[in-house]
């Protein structure tokens, strides 16, 4: 389910003639270069930050993406798409605009797009995550004047456990189930999250079974050199009754409640891996035994650290908690504006529409004064990200560094 409902309510900022990226009905557009970044309507030239479906769409005349996105893009959009690939850090010049891609730490091949023209530098983040997970190069801060950031989890309540804590929890749950002779079914998005779980779990606990939607993406990761433990299809003869009692099952959320799941028995334990699991009620609505707080997007401290790391004075905020983040940044001395986009949330379980009101009621991010809301968090952005100029108490930024 897409969570783009908030985004369409936002109005685009008044664009200046000097802007290197403006919001157009087709997508984010670079006027001097005459190309788009992750456009949602067909265009002649598109730079694609990563292969999630809300960012990589069919029908463009020319695609530019990171080398490691080739496998997933061709698999999802067709083998014959006109694709030009680029390694991280290498510059191509197009109509006087210097374009380069830099690690975003989100999924395999994910990239931030750096644009340089006329002495200005803009960076479009695409989706990003600041903690390294071993399945793609970690997020790299890129100095710029203007940073276009996502804000999928742009509320102070979103704070992810470290990789170590997360996988200790997942392993303990799986081990306990295996010892009790029941399967552990973990619902997760098929591209990115499933491979991150495979890479992070203790594969000595038992066999791992993956849904048919997951295995082709495992193959792309393995081909790119990312080590993943052996995976089995449920039809594999080795996956007999006894094996299934100890197995970890990775399946997309859409598999929940389908006949495919019945093979693992009525006593299988099920769980959901998502950043939304941090919100009270999401797990309950999902009807699963366990919720693991796990996202491929930056949490609040991650967003703060990333924005700080760019040194940018101008921030453009796209999909997610746009109004909250814009207000927070503005109150802390930055020039922040919203960009209207059509990006969704590939986690697939965003609390959109029917779920959104209850999420808002529980977190109440918009109605509460942001400064008050931040006060409620003892470990505020400044302490957990190393920032000193954006205080938990909301003290205005006096010394944000020049680019």
Residue 267 neighbours by CB under 8 Å, 6+ apart: 182
Minimum gap (Å) between residue 252 Cβ and Zn ion: 15
Task: Pick out residues in 39-58 that bind Zn ion (CB under 5 A).
Answer: 52
- Residue 42: left (phi > 0), alpha (psi -120 to 50), or beta? beta
Query: Is residue 283 a contact point for Zn ion (CB under 5 A)?
Result: no
**Stretches 6-14, 171-179, 340-348, 379-387: which one binds Zn ion (CB under 5 A)?**
340-348
Q: Check residue 331 for interaction with Zn ion (CB under 5 A).
A: no
Q: Assess 343 for contact with Zn ion (CB under 5 A).
A: yes
Nearer to Zn ion, 52 or 400 (CB): 52
If one asks whether residue 346 binds Zn ion (CB under 5 A), the answer comes out as yes
Q: Scanning residues 103 to 132, which ones bind Zn ion (CB under 5 A)?
A: 127
Q: Pick the closer one to Zn ion by CB: 299 or 346.
A: 346
By CB atoms closer than 10 A (0-12, 13-18, 19+), residue 318 is buried
Q: What minimum distance in Å lies between the beta carbon of 51 and Zn ion?
A: 8
CB atoms within 10 A of CB 105: 24
Select the span of 56-64, 177-185, 244-252, 342-350 touching Zn ion (CB under 5 A).
342-350
User: Which of 104/329 has CB closer to Zn ion?
Assistant: 104
From the CB of 7, what's the least distance to Zn ion, in Å? 10
Q: How many whole angstroms separate alpha carbon 254 and alpha carbon 354? A: 18
Phi, psi of 21 (to 5 degrees): -140, 130
Q: Which is nearer to Zn ion, 296 or 331 (CB)?
A: 296
Report the distance separating Cα 59 and Cα 351, nearest Å.
Answer: 29
SS (H, E, C) 105-134: CCCCCCEEEEEEECCEEEEECCCCCCCCCC
Stretch that binds Zn ion, among 324-332, 335-343, 347-355, 369-377 (CB under 5 A): 335-343
Record the tokens describing residue 21, joined without a space.
């990226």
CB of 125 to Zn ion, least distance (A): 10
Toward Zn ion, which CB reaches closer, 52 or 196? 52
Give the number of other Cβ atoms within 10 Å of residue 195's Cβ.
27
Q: Write the CA distances from 30 to 21, 37, 133, 308, integer angstroms.
A: 4, 8, 31, 24
Q: Which helix (H) or strand (E) is 171 found in, with range?
A: helix 163-179
CB 151 to Zn ion: min, Å: 10
Only segment of 92-100, 160-168, 338-346, 352-360 that touches Zn ion (CB under 5 A): 338-346
Distance of CA 295 to the CA centre of its chain: 7
Tell me which residue of 58, 33, 63, 32 sits closest to 47, measured CA to CA: 63
CB of residue 149 vs Zn ion: minimum separation in angstroms?
Answer: 11
Interface size with Zn ion, residues (CB under 5 A): 4
Min separation Cβ 66 and Zn ion, Å: 13
Residue 184 CB, shortest distance to Zn ion, in Å, is: 26
Give the gyration radius of the chain's Cα atoms: 21
How do beta strands 45-47 and 62-66 pair?
parallel
Q: Judged by CB, which is closer to Zn ion: 331, or 346?
A: 346
Residue 133 lies near Zn ion (rule: CB under 5 A): no
* Torsion angle of C-alpha atoms 303, 306, 310, 314, degrees rounded to 10: 0
Question: Which region among 157-165, 276-284, 341-349, 355-363 touches Zn ion (by CB under 5 A)?
Answer: 341-349
Among the candidate windows 11-19, 87-95, 281-289, 337-345, which touches Zn ion by CB under 5 A?
337-345
Shortest reach from residue 109's CB to Zn ion, in Å: 11
Residues at the interface with Zn ion (CB under 5 A): 52, 127, 343, 346
């Amino acid at each position: 389910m897409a969570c783009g409902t908030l985004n369409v309510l936002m109005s685009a900022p008044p664009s200046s003639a000097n802007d290197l990226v403006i919001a157009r009905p087709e997508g984010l557009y670079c006027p001097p270069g005459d190309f788009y970044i992750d456009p949602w309507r067909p265009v002649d030239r598109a730079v694609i930050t990563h292969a999630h479906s809300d960012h990589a769409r069919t029908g463009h005349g020319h695609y530019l993406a990171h080398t490691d996105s080739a496998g997933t893009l061709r698999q999802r959009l067709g083998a014959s798409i006109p694709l030009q690939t680029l390694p991280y850090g290498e510059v191509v010049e197009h109509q006087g605009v210097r374009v380069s891609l830099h690690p975003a730490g989100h999924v395999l091949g994910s990239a931030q797009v750096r644009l340089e023209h006329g002495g200005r530098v803009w960076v479009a983040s695409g989706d990003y995550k600041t903690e390294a997970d071993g399945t793609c190069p970690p997020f790299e801060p890129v100095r710029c004047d203007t940073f276009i950031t996502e804000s999928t989890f742009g509320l102070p309540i979103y704070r992810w456990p470290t990789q170590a804590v997360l996988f200790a929890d997942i392993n303990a749950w799986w081990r306990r189930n295996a010892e009790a002779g029941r399967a552990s079914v973990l619902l997760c998005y098929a591209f990115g999250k499933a491979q991150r779980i495979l890479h992070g779990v203790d594969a000595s606990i038992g066999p791992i079974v993956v849904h048919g939607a997951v295995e082709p993406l495992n193959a792309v990761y393995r081909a790119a050199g990312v080590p993943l433990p052996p995976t089995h299809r449920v039809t594999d003869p080795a996956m007999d009754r006894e094996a299934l009692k100890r197995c970890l099952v990775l399946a997309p959320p859409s598999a929940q409640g389908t006949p495919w799941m019945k093979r693992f028995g009525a006593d299988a334990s099920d769980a959901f891996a998502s950043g939304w699991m941090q919100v009270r009620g999401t797990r309950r609505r999902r009807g699963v035994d366990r919720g693991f707080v796990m996202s491929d997007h930056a949490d609040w401290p991650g967003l703060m650290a990333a924005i700080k790391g760019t040194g940018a004075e101008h921030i453009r905020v796209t999909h997610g908690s746009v109004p909250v983040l814009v207000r927070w940044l503005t109150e802390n001395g930055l020039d922040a504006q919203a960009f209207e986009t059509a990006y969704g949330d590939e986690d697939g379980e965003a609390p959109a529409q029917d779920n959104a009101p209850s999420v808002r009621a529980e977190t109440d991010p918009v109605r509460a004064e942001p400064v008050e809301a931040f006060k409620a968090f003892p470990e505020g952005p400044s302490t957990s990200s190393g920032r000193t100029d954006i205080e938990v108490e909301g003290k205005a930024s006096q010394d944000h560094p020049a680019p």
